[in-house]
Structure 1
Amino acid sequence: MLLAHPAVLDDLVDRYETLSLLDPEDPEVRRRTADVSYTLCVATGTRDVDAALIAARLRLPGARPEDDSVLT
């Protein structure tokens, strides 16, 4: 399976979180949320957005204690 670049995943998670702060009754917000949710699922190989968010966050730099890709 191809894996999305962490920068792509970071952008998708940010977009999803931003959309979650907006009015869920707005048709444009619903459409954009559905698009981002679908893309997150495809990018992480999952079938629901909650699992996709977890999978994406685990792939971001610094997500694991042994991850040395982020320097402090």
Structure 2
Amino acid sequence: MLRPHPAVLSRLVEEYEALAAVEAVGGAAEPASRARDLEYTLCVSTGTRDVKDALETAHRWLASATAPETTTARKTLPVGEPVPARSASPLSRPLPLRRTPPLREPAVLAE
């Protein structure tokens, strides 16, 4: 089963738990549409059918995740520093030209 990126899963869990806390304090009888959307997304992302199971699974996955919870930015070079040369890759070479047979002149039909 595919797993969501830890940063995405973490954001979903945090947003859902924040909305659940606000709704618990406000005493809302029915969850708001955003909370329902988050419940659905968490369940689909974790392969569960109940939001409690989805949260347990998400917390377990986040605890065991080896990837950082934030997206990695590209390394930036200081201004004026030359860009390092890339290593030659077999895919970076131009493809050899293929020879095609010459086109023949169309035959002229005798009138």
The TM-score with structure 2 as length reference comes to 0.50
In structure 2, list runs of 5 or more residues that go unmatched. Answer: 69-111
1:48 equivalent in alignment to 2:28: no
1:15 alignment partner in structure 2: 15
Post-superposition Cα deviations, 1:10-31, rounded to whole Å, max 9, x if no partner, equal 001100111012235287x611
How many residue pairs get aligned? The number is: 65
Higher RCO by CA contacts (8 Å cutoff, separation 6 or greater)? 1
1:39 alignment partner in structure 2: 41
The TM-score with structure 1 as length reference comes to 0.74
Higher helix share: 1
Runs ≥4 in structure 1, deviation > 4 angstroms?
A: 67-70
In structure 1, list runs of 5 or more residues that go unmatched. Answer: none
Bigger Rg over Cα: 2
Distance 1:24 1:38 in 2: 21
